[in-house]
Amino acid sequence: MSQDALVKRQFGHRARLALAPAQVLKVDDQAHAARTLWNLLHAWWRMMPKDKRSLANADAAIRQAREGVDFLAVLPAQAAQAVLRTYFQAWKNCWEGRTDAPNFKGRFHVAMSVDIPQGRDLNITRVHRRWGMVNIPKVGRVRFRWTKNLPVGKHAGAENRITGARLIKDALGWHIAFRVQALEVKPTPHQGPEVGIDVGVSVPLALSDGETYEHGDWLTDKEKAELLSLEQRAARRRRHRRSGERTSRRLRRTHVRIAGLRAKAKRRALDWQHKTTTHIARTYGTLVVEALAITSMVKSAKGTVEEPGKNVAQKSGLNRSIHAEAWGRTVTMLTYKTARLGGTLHKVPAPGTSQRCSACGSTTPGSRESQAVFVCKNPDCGWSGNADHNAARNVLYFYRMGLALIPAAGRAVVRRAKRVKPATAR
């Protein structure tokens, strides 16, 4: 097979680790050492003159700190170098306007993580169908949940290999995220149909062909009752805490249990999103979505003292529902999955998709009678149907009329696409 028919793909794969209690303590110590090293680097950066802030000087400062501070020695040297590179990359991202300036990392408000930059240090082997083994520097051999075939053993090579990993801790424990590089066959153009997609709160995904994708609650009734009880318990304990007093162990344990239930709900939501977006990307060749300004949509309605907002509680509840559906993450998944399967994803302007009648094309005030029902007020039309289905049809119509948005290079600005001959209306 020629090299032109192959494409290099880089992706990540996250797996759950099965650590022994002693190994958990070792990985925790490494994560705290990495966080402390970041803070020392930030203090060094603020203290040094601008002409002395170089990678070589920072590397020398790290080596000196590791020799003088005993507990920093638990962090492998390669992981310490990864902290240094990440810190300098954070400043580069800040200078290019992509992120804010890096700052100190607090003990309880930052995700704990340790980087393993060299893939050859992992020495991955598969034990049986459900579990594999990986080597973690200064920790030892650890089991991890095997849920995806990785390029190890006879499947590994110069182009198919694991280039590194990162240990990440969340409310459900420690996980390992592998960085995988693979050489795959370039996908052929997807021959599936075109479809418009409307995202919403009551109906998470509505398609222009009438298909809908919905889900239930992410927690069972028993889990929701437990979460409510824990939140009430935490509120009572916070109410009896004096100002400036440290958080008690009982309150911290309550917070850990709350975080565990919320992490379980998020994991179930991610599982639904992955399965749903994979099915859509395999079924359709061209996907069209709205270019939503989600950050502006979830702004608070609280207002100011001089001009207080209205319906603040209702708007707050809507904002929580929008955050829970994670529309941006859904579009991100669809983007890379359609590209991998040979399809394309386009964005169209959001204004007008919910108010326009997809049958006659008129925009009449009052047609959107409720969140779920659309009834065209045009006396010559009178079409009625599901509001989300109507919006999805409008999204596809805007694309066929040549109104797809093209992002400008390096900016979030969009331009009008070249107008094409409209397809026959369905």
89 and 148 co-located in one domain: yes
- Whether 125 contacts 153, CB under 8 Å: yes
Same domain, 46 and 26: yes
Rounded to 5 degrees, φ, ψ at 299 are -70, 150
Mean pLDDT, the chain, rounded, equals 84
pTM of the model: 0.81
Half-sphere exposure at residue 356, Cβ-oriented, CA atoms within 13 angstroms: 17
Instruction: Supply the pLDDT for residue 411.
Output: 38
From residue 107, alpha-carbon distances to 72, 111, 215, 253, 326 in Å are 15, 9, 36, 16, 27
Q: Provide the 3-class DSSP secondary structure of residue 411.
A: coil
Does residue 249 sit within a domain? Answer: no
Range of the domain at 410: 187-216+268-426
**Partners of 8 in the β-ladder:** 183
Q: Is the pLDDT of residue 2 over 60?
A: no
Q: What is the mean pLDDT of residues 197-213?
A: 87
- Who contacts 272 (Cβ-Cβ below 8 Å, separation ≥6)? 215
Residue 172 and residue 205 in one domain: no
pLDDT of residue 72: 87
State mean pLDDT over 87-115.
Answer: 89
Domain boundary pick from 186, 205, 236 = 186
H or E, element range at 9: strand 6-18
| Domain total in the chain | 2
Q: What percent of the chain has pLDDT over 70?
A: 90
- Does residue 351 carry a pLDDT above 80? yes
Is 254 a member of any domain? no
CATH of residue 308 = 3.30.420
Round to the nearest angstrom and report the end-to-end CA distance of the chain.
Answer: 42
Reading the block at residue 201, the tokens are 């709160």
**Identity of residue 101:** A
Question: Residue 81 and residue 63: Cα distance in Å, rounded?
Answer: 10
Task: Choose between 135 and 303: higher pLDDT.
Answer: 135
Answer whether residue 423 shows pLDDT above 50. Answer: no
Residue 406 pLDDT > 80: no
- The H or E element containing residue 144 is strand 140-145
In a domain, 236, yes or no: no
Angle subtended by helix axes 21-47 and 55-68, to nearest 10: 130
**What's the average model confidence in pLDDT over 54-69?**
86
In this prediction, residues 272-292 reach a mean pLDDT of 91
Q: Are residues 281 and 158 in the same domain?
A: no
| Residue 43 binned pLDDT confidence (cut-offs 50, 70, 90) | very high
Q: Cβ atoms within 10 A of the Cβ of 61, count?
A: 18
Verify that 66 and 192 share a domain, yes or no.
Answer: no
| Confidence band for 175, pLDDT divided at 50, 70 and 90 | very high
pLDDT over 90 at 35, yes or no: yes
Q: What is the dihedral sign for C-alpha 145, 148, 154, 156?
A: negative
Q: Are residues 176 and 322 in the same domain?
A: no
137 and 53 share one domain = yes
Which H or E run includes 398? helix 387-400
The per-residue pLDDT for range 304-346, each reduced to its tens digit, is: 656 677 777 777 887 888 888 888 899 999 999 998 888 999 9
Q: Are residue 154 and residue 283 in the same domain, yes or no? A: no
